[in-house]
Amino acid sequence: MMRINKVLSLGLLLATATNQMAQDSSATKARIELSGNYAINSNAITAKFYEHFYYGGFIDNELKDQVAHRLSANNSFGVEAESKVLYFSEPIIGQWSVYAGLGYSVDLGTQFTRDLFNVVFYGNAAYANKTADLSETQVKYLESQSLHFGLSRALKTDSSTAKKSIQFGFNVVKGQNWYDIKVDKGSLFTEQNGAFLDIVLKGNSYHSDNTRSDLAAFNGVGLGLNFAYKVEKKNGIQYSVELANLGLMQWGAHSVHSSVDTSFHFEGLAINNIFTISDSTFNNISVAGASDHLKSETKSQTMVLPFTIRGKYLYPLNANNYLTAELNYKYWANYIPKLMLSYGYRLSTLWSVELSGGYGGYGQMHAGLAAKYSAAHVQLSAGASDFLGFVAPSSFSNQGAFVMASYVF
Amino acid sequence: MRKIIVLFFALCAVFSACRKDLSSSSWDAHEITPLIHSSMSIEDLMGSDLAQKNNDNSVSVVYKQLMYSANTDSMLRFRDTTFTYGASLSTLILTDDSVVHPITLGSIARGQGFLGAIILASQGNMVSFPALNNISSSNIAIDGGAFFETMDVQSGFMDITIRNGLKVDITTLDFLLSNQVGLSTIVSGSFPPIPAGTSQLMSFVLDGKTINSKMLGKITTLNTAASPGTVLVDTNNAVTTVIKIRDLKPKTATAFFPDQDVFNETQGIMLGTGGKMMLSDMTVKEGTVNVEFFSSINDTIFFSYKIPSASIGGVPFQIDTFVPPAPIGEKVSLIYSYPFKGYHLNMRGFGIENQLNVDLNQNGHLDADTVNTIVQQLVGKIKSKNQMVTLALGDTFYVNAGLHGIVPSYVLGYVADQTMKVGPSTVGMSVFDKYQSGSLKMEDLNVSLEVKNGFGVKLKVDAQNISGHNSKTGKTVVLTNAETSAPIMLDKALDPFVNGDITYSTKLISLNKSNSNIKDFMEIFPNQLNYQMTAQLNPDLPSIPYQTVLATPPNFVYSATGLEATMNVEIPLSLMADSLLLADTMDFSLAKSDQSERLNSAKFTLITENGFPFSTNISIYMLDASMQKMDSLFVNGLVAAGTVAQEGGEWKVTEKTMSTIVFEVPAGKIENLFNTKKLLVLADFNTAQPKTDFAKIYSDYAIDFKLSGDFDFKVKLK
């Protein structure tokens, strides 16, 4: 039994796995950690618009106008949601402790032009005798569940260092649902009276088997690697770097890849005799324009998992005040590096609060608020990673919240 | 730990549940899109069956209007024909039968006391016999049970033969025959003297008698004369009685009936053709042979019905069936109907005997051909069985057999000189149905009246009145033409048995501006064609001997071909239209759907590029199921005429002209659109050239349509 444990441990070491380093991985006691967060970010889509779109309801012109005023040439919208439970053991192989857990995540990243929003939500009537630019449109969506395994240990410290730890791990990812639509080049010209449309479309789309996409669907499998390194200086300065979920996902044979690279002039359905028009004639019009130019194939697909690179630096101002800088990047859609600066204030030995602001991701400007509780065995934190979307949903886009609880045995 | 896991999955479920509810998201959008486009030539507008391209690429309207079509149904009608054959017990027969009973001299002697003893003692000796008187026999049992049990005789005879085997003459012989039961007398009588060695027969009528199989016979008085000298005494010499029953027709009988035909009838039946028609052959297109059986006979009747005159592929029509025994005192009835379609009828009566080489009517010779007659045979049989059957005089069996609903597909012979009257009748001319008002001048036109005779009969057709009528304007023009005013003589069609297919005899009468008023006739746009005419068959053959009909049949008629009168119209489209208003309806159906119900309003743009030399002012109305106007789609949408210029004396379109018709369908009109069943299209045409000139329509002229829609509708996800 001992031998088996050693072999397993060696295997895990070689596998270089990880976990996010939000917590002190060098702890010498076992602990369990439960976390969940979600964030909805956009540079243009207001929170209220999104709520109507996502949760149902009529999107009136006022809602559309609020978005329209915020649109730039290229826009983004993203949703990140994740929940996770992890168990960290006491050191069991020398200084190494083992962790394992379960995770669930949703990643949606979209990019769209102003014209696309206007055509979809206002219609193309406003583009009579104009060309709507639909290029660089992208929708990437992934919903998955994962099993987490890894090792962590405390490293030797020097005279200036209080704690130092490193962590390796891997995730086995179960793919539930996946869409990846990219329009590299697209435009729509509408003749003044609608007599014809000139459509240019070049792009690709992928999606997993859409005959089944519920929680139990097992449409793909992937492997992601994790790494984390954290240092706490005796002077209170902390910094860490983290790489999460770097890997590949293989989607099953029922996945579909479609591509289109065409430009066509559509004048409606050609008929021989206008005296034979019926409603079925009109039903065929949409079919005539689209499907003829689409090439599709059904086969297995491989994709890069949405991995994350994160660096964090904490600088204590004094015993009760500190500043934090955090830089995040997610490889997914048009996510841009996100820099967050926060100010923390320790209310007591147990409680502290943080106020943050930043730029990047899908939503550009961010403002957050959090509270933390830290006792001998229990750590709690909760807050809004983006609160402006809650406070003024008609004017702001970003909404985000998180909760984390950890118990040290 | 378990609680934490549960909490984790709860979080997953929350994310997953919040993920999708896009189906109820909706918004209004304003989309404009092309819907349809089309380019329509005159052929597309009128239909390829109407438009015909001429050598110079100009177009003519070519139209055929069938005025009248007649086939054999109006000429050949046959009455249903039923033939009844009946039979009763009186026509049944019982086998003639006889019983032989000898009375020897010995047996006579034993009843004569002393004298008898002397006779017996003289056996083998030569003796002189004295006269014997008042000799009688005892009752002699006679059994007819091998033939019958009992019978009440309707008619019949009993023959009693006395053969005198004695050596002396019988001077007196009285006898009595009675039934054993009840001793009722059957017959009795006295024979005249019967010389020795001779026989004497007496017949008795049995009418009204009841005869049982168990009978008693008795010689009540037998007197003999004295022998002329000595004679050899032989006690085996006998007076032999032979009782024979013959020609029996019982009222009732329980008997063994022999195999016999209840009836066997062969008859020639004349089909009811009526008039002077004489037919030698016919093929049946429709019809049945109906046979009804009625029987109260307590025995199975085997039935055969045959029509030697009717055959398919040489196999004659024949039905073999049977009627089961009727319960005593009841009747059995059966009705059968047999298809007669496709049978060829040889209607030469018993002349078919020559073809079959059989004397069907058993008159001793093969009969000669006749006409209109078929031969049929009905045979009903009783078959003997090993048991007695009780039959009564009241028991009957009869058959109704007949031909019903006979419609010929072909006849050969002489169809007489009958006259078919047609009309007054009216047919619609659909080509002008769309006309409402205004005028259209035609530069020229060619019309022909085509009369086709598909009968193998000469015809004399007299078209007494042909007129065109426009029911919308009330205008009527009677066609005037010298040829149509006179009788039209049509030769008979050619016999298909020679050529394989009928060759019509056709008469074409050309109608044009110079020989008729056909232009005036057509320019009123007649949507009704009125006519009245007669067609006389065989106008030059009022009568004919039937022998000639049989030798060289003058007529044949097929049901598929007959007399047709057609008006062929060709109008070169060189026209001058002045406010010519045409109306047409087209089916329309817009089903409500999830998409259609999300339509708030719509605006349509119809862009036309007209390459025809006429303008059109179009109005489209929505009609409900009862063809009532509900609303308009648009009114007075003008499609301008193509640009025209004179080239070589002709007005031609040099350039298409674009017109745009915009019509809105607001929310209120959309609901009407869903209830619309037809669209009424009114189009007011005016030719572009000066009103004094004509303009030709060429096959390369076209009008282009582009219809786009501007929709304000609610987008709903999913």
Residues facing residue A80 across a β-bridge = A39, A107
By Cβ distance, the residue of B19, B27, B32 closest to A121 is B27
| pLDDT tens-place string over residues B401-433 | 889 989 898 999 999 988 888 878 899 887 777
| pLDDT tens-place string over residues A72-118 | 988 999 999 999 999 999 988 888 899 999 999 999 999 999 999 99
Whether A60 sits inside 8 A of B27 (CB atoms) is yes
Interface test with B, best of A275, A283, A407 (most B CBs within 10 A): A275
Whether B26 sits inside 8 A of A34 (CB atoms) is no
Residues facing residue A48 across a β-bridge = none
Whether A125 sits inside 8 A of B23 (CB atoms) is no
Residue B14, pLDDT above cutoff 50: no
B27: closest chain A residue by CA: A59
Which residues from chain B sit within 8 angstroms of residue A54, using beta carbons?
A: 21-22, 25
Closest CA relative to residue B520, chosen from B454, B579, B467? B467
What average pLDDT is seen over chain B?
A: 85
By Cβ distance, the residue of B5, B25, B710 closest to A59 is B25
DSSP state of A19: -
Question: What average pLDDT does the segment A370-392 reach?
Answer: 94
- Is some CB atom of chain A closer than 8 A to the CB atom of B626? no
Whether A143 sits inside 8 A of B19 (CB atoms) is yes
By Cβ distance, the residue of A194, A215, A279 closest to B16 is A215
Whether A145 sits inside 8 A of B35 (CB atoms) is no
Closest CA relative to residue B106, chosen from B133, B135, B70, B81? B135
By Cβ distance, the residue of B1, B25, B707 closest to A268 is B707
Global ipTM: 0.83
Q: Where would I find the H helices in A332-387? A: none
Cα angle A156, A158, A160 (rounded to 5 degrees) comes to 135
- Extents of the domains making up chain B: 29-52+576-716, 62-72+425-572, 81-90+258-414, 97-255
Closest CA relative to residue B257, chosen from B388, B429, B352, B165? B388
A270: closest chain B residue by CA: B37
Which residues from chain B sit within 8 angstroms of residue A129, using beta carbons?
A: none
Residue A4 pLDDT level (bands cut at 50, 70, 90): very low
Neighbouring residues of A101: CB distance < 8 A, sequence distance ≥ 6 = A19, A33, A84, A85, A86, A87, A147, A148
Which residues from chain A sit within 8 angstroms of residue B708, using beta carbons?
A: 191, 193-195, 268
Whether B4 sits inside 8 A of A32 (CB atoms) is yes
Which residues from chain A sit within 8 angstroms of residue B706, using beta carbons?
A: 195-196, 267-268
- Report the predicted TM-score, pTM, of the whole model to 2 decimal places: 0.61
- State phi, psi for A218 to the nearest 5 degrees: -120, 80
| pLDDT tens-place string over residues A34-77 | 999 999 999 999 999 999 988 888 999 999 999 999 999 889 99
Size of interface A-B (CB pairs under 8 A): 151
Q: Averaging pLDDT over each range in A177-186, B33-42, B421-430, which range is the top one?
A: A177-186
Which residues from chain A sit within 8 angstroms of residue B34, using beta carbons?
A: 191, 194-197, 266-268
Contact A317, A352 (CB under 8 A): no
Quote the pLDDT of residue A3: 35
| pLDDT tens-place string over residues A315-343 | 999 989 999 999 999 999 989 999 999 99
By Cβ distance, the residue of B32, B35, B591 closest to A125 is B32
- Is some CB atom of chain A closer than 8 A to the CB atom of B585? no
Residues facing residue B222 across a β-bridge = B135, B173
Share of chain B above pLDDT 70, in %: 93
By Cβ distance, the residue of B15, B35, B38 closest to A81 is B15
Domain count, chain A: 1
pLDDT-wise least confident of A345-349, B270-274, B353-357, B646-650: B270-274
Here the CATH number for the domain that contains residue A114 is 2.40.160
Whether B32 sits inside 8 A of A193 (CB atoms) is yes
Which residues from chain A sit within 8 angstroms of residue B8, using beta carbons?
A: 34, 83-85, 102, 104
Distances (CA, A) of A214 to A148, B11, B20: 21, 16, 11
Whether A279 sits inside 8 A of B21 (CB atoms) is no
DSSP state of A265: E
Quote the minimal CA–CA distance from A77 to chain B in Å: 15
Quote the pLDDT of residue B645: 92
CA B630 to CA B388: how far, in whole Å?
87
Residue A202, pLDDT above cutoff 70: yes
Which residues from chain B sit within 8 angstroms of residue A125, using beta carbons?
A: 30-32, 710
Please tell me if the domain spanning B29-52+576-716 has the same topology as the one spanning B62-72+425-572: yes
Whether A145 sits inside 8 A of B29 (CB atoms) is no
Residue B272 pLDDT level (bands cut at 50, 70, 90): confident
CATH topology (fold) of B29-52+576-716: Jelly Rolls (2.60.120)
Quote the minimal CA–CA distance from B661 to chain A in Å: 11
Is A276 in a helix, a strand, or coil? helix
Residue A189, pLDDT above cutoff 60: yes
State yes or no: cis peptide before B424, omega within 30 of 0.
yes
Quote the minimal CA–CA distance from B32 to chain A in Å: 5
By Cβ distance, the residue of B30, B36, B584 closest to A268 is B36
B660: closest chain A residue by CA: A193
Interface test with A, best of B24, B26, B37, B618 (most A CBs within 10 A): B37
Angle, helices A61-68/A47-55, rounded to nearest 10 degrees: 130
Residues facing residue B652 across a β-bridge = B645
Residue B153 pLDDT level (bands cut at 50, 70, 90): confident
Quote the pLDDT of residue B7: 44
Residue B586, pLDDT above cutoff 90: no
B positions 641-670 inside 8 Å of A (CB): 660
Cα angle B682, B686, B689 (rounded to 5 degrees) comes to 165
DSSP state of B383: -
Residue A177, pLDDT above cutoff 60: yes
Residue A18, pLDDT above cutoff 50: no
| pLDDT tens-place string over residues B657-705 | 999 999 988 888 888 888 888 888 888 889 988 888 888 888 888 889 8
B positions 78-117 inside 8 Å of A (CB): none
| pLDDT tens-place string over residues B500-511 | 578 899 999 999
- Region B62-72+425-572: CATH code: 2.60.120
B713: closest chain A residue by CA: A123
Residue A16 pLDDT level (bands cut at 50, 70, 90): very low
Quote the pLDDT of residue A25: 41
Quote the minimal CA–CA distance from A32 to chain B in Å: 8
Is A384 in a helix, a strand, or coil? strand
Q: Where would I find the H helices in B65-176? A: 105-109, 113-121
Contact B537, B455 (CB under 8 A): yes
Whether B26 sits inside 8 A of A106 (CB atoms) is no
Whether A53 sits inside 8 A of B24 (CB atoms) is no
Contact B501, B464 (CB under 8 A): no
Quote the pLDDT of residue B98: 76
Contact A324, A354 (CB under 8 A): yes
Quote the minimal CA–CA distance from B695 to chain A in Å: 24
Contact A123, B31 (CB under 8 A): yes
Quote the pLDDT of residue B508: 93
